[in-house]
Amino acid sequence: MKKMSVKTVVAIGIGAALFFVLGRFVAIPVPFVPNTTFSLQYGILGLFAALFGPIAGMLIGFIGHTLIDLSWGSPWWSWIIASTCFGLMVGLFTRKLDLESGSFGKKEILTFNLAQIASHAISWLVIALALDMAIYAEPFAKVLTQGITATILNSIATGVVGTLLIMAYAKTRTKKGSLNKE
């Protein structure tokens, strides 16, 4: 935290603004399940966490989710903390990826998706669930159902949107060793 670069600070701000706009105003409803939507913002959060690291991911999740909740009227801290952890974990798990140099092949796609699914599972099935039970004393069956639904839906949204975004982003970067001596 002490050595946070100016770029990271700005990336957190803009990332949180993107997270907010997508989470607040863009909704793609899930078929067959009423009142649920795909959360596209986690695709963006995945990309930013992979690009700017775990601290940026963590703070984008925290600030973005808090702003969304406040704009509705009241914060749900258990879910905000889950989003925070998601950003942190994706950032940690994707440390090995080098997107800046444009390498995003099959292996990297697999790494990113395993990272995001594992992070979603830990965030929604462990953290959000435990906090909902601790803070609100909600019944286990209900929070478990919520956690499973959130994990599956968010993983799909992040998998499709996040992967497509990173693939396209990597294509815009110059590959390492792309110059040939003739």
Partner 1 sequence: MSKNAALSYLPRKSVVHRMTGTTKLAFFLLWSTAAMLTYDTRLLAAMTVGGLVLFGVSRIKLQEVKGALLFMLALVMLNLIAIFLFSPDQGTAIYGTRHVILPLFWRYNVTQETLFYLLNFFLKYSAVIPVALLFILATDPSEFAASLAGIGVSYKVGYAVALALRYIPDVQRDFHNISQAQQARGVDLSAKDKTMTRLKNSAAILLPLVLSSLSRIETISNAMELRGFGKHKKRTWYVKRPFQARDWAAMALAAAVLAVSLGITLTTGSRYFNPFVS
Minimum distance between the CB of residue 10 and partner 1, rounded to whole angstroms? 4
Could you give the maximum distance between any two Cα atoms of the chain, in Å? 69
Looking at 14-22, 81-89, 104-112, 116-124, which segment touches partner 1 (CB under 8 A)?
A: 14-22
Strand segments, DSSP code E, in 16-164 are 28-29, 37-38
Tell me which DSSP letter residue 145 carries.
Answer: H
Looking at 32-40, 85-93, 101-109, 110-118, which segment touches partner 1 (CB under 8 A)?
A: 32-40
Q: Which residues of 81-96 are buried (b: 16+ CB within 10 A; e: fewer)?
A: bbbbbbbbbbbebbee
Is residue 127 near partner 1 by the rule CB under 8 A?
no
- Burial class from Cβ neighbours inside 10 Å (0-12, 13-18, 19+) for residue 47 reads buried
Bridge partners, residue 38, by sequence:
28
Q: Side chain identity at 90, as an amino acid letter?
A: V
Closer residue to partner 1 in complex, CB, 2/181? 2
Is residue 174 near partner 1 by the rule CB under 8 A?
no
Is residue 179 near partner 1 by the rule CB under 8 A?
no
Total of chain residues touching partner 1, rule CB under 8 A: 60
Query: Site map for partner 1, 75-114, x if CB under 8 A?
Result: x-x-------------------------------------
Closer residue to partner 1 in complex, CB, 54/77? 77
Which residue in 95, 142, 175, 176 binds partner 1 (CB under 8 A)? 142
Looking at 40-48, 79-87, 100-108, 116-124, which segment touches partner 1 (CB under 8 A)?
A: 40-48
Q: What angle do CA 60, 153, 17 make, to 5 degrees?
A: 25
Distances (CA, A) of 44 to 17, 47, 128, 157: 11, 5, 20, 10
Cα–Cα distance for residue pair 32/27, rounded to 1 Å: 15
Bridge pairing between strands 37-38 and 28-29: antiparallel
Residues of the shown chain interacting with partner 1 in the complex, contacts defined by CB under 8 A? 1, 4-7, 9-18, 20-22, 24-26, 28-31, 35, 38, 40, 43-44, 47, 59, 63-64, 67, 70-75, 77, 135-142, 145, 156-157, 160-161, 164-165, 168-169, 172
